[in-house]
Amino acid sequence: MNLNVDVVCSSFASAEALSEFMRKHIGYASKQQRVLSTSHGCWWKTPQQTFEDGYGFCYDLAAFALHGLELSNIACARLLFVSWGEWGCKSNAGHFVCVYQQNDGYFCIDNGRLKGPFSFEQLLLVTSRNHKLKSYRWFEKHDIAYHTRYSDMTGFSDMTGFSDSTLLSGI
């Protein structure tokens, strides 16, 4: 039976339930799956495609988490993108997570794992895996450019830059 992602995503009672579902059913792309993904340029999949494939890259998993949080009315969320290297050109140069704020803390779903609460500065450090950040950018649901190839995502890191002296602001 081929389930629709909207039916599944609207059934989550909590962010913890969504995270648990993702950890069990939607993983980060394995080596073999990464090779398979290169046939279409490792493009940004829709939540339905990620659900059907059962795997994705950080941007796919973050978009799936955002979709689940919104359809289940759990939290108002956005995607956070951080870069520290040559994003779009080299692997392991940036990262996407799904973020929502609750009380005074930020929570993220990072490749299916629920993490937090964090201050905004801690959120950036966790998301960047403690790399020195080059830039960060927020994505609203309507900003997601599904089917954008990884090699065409290089501009994401140029969209919002900051220096060490810039004060960072959250959601």
pLDDT in tens, 10-32: 999 999 999 999 999 999 998 88
101 confidence band (pLDDT: 50, 70, 90): very high
Give me the residue label for tokens 């090699």.
151
83 confidence band (pLDDT: 50, 70, 90): very high
**Percentage of the chain exceeding pLDDT 70:** 88
Q: What is the pTM of this model?
A: 0.89
> For the residues 135-142, what does the mean pLDDT come to?
94
Q: Residue 170 class from Cβ within 10 Å (0-12 exposed, 13-18 middle, 19+ buried)?
A: middle
- Label residue 73 left, alpha or beta by phi (over 0 means left) and psi (-120 to 50 means alpha): left
Task: Quote the pLDDT of residue 158.
Answer: 67
**Residue 166 DSSP label:** S
76 confidence band (pLDDT: 50, 70, 90): very high
**Spatial CA neighbour of 129 closest among 154, 93, 99:** 93
Task: Quote the pLDDT of residue 42.
Answer: 77
Contact predicate 115/126, CB 8 Å: yes
Give me the residue label for tokens 């059962």.
54
> For the residues 39-54, what does the mean pLDDT come to?
87
> For the residues 81-92, what does the mean pLDDT come to?
83
The two counts, helices (H) then strands (E), for the chain are 7, 7
Among 105-109, 110-114, 124-128, 157-161, which is the least confidently predicted range? 157-161
How many residues comprise the chain?
171
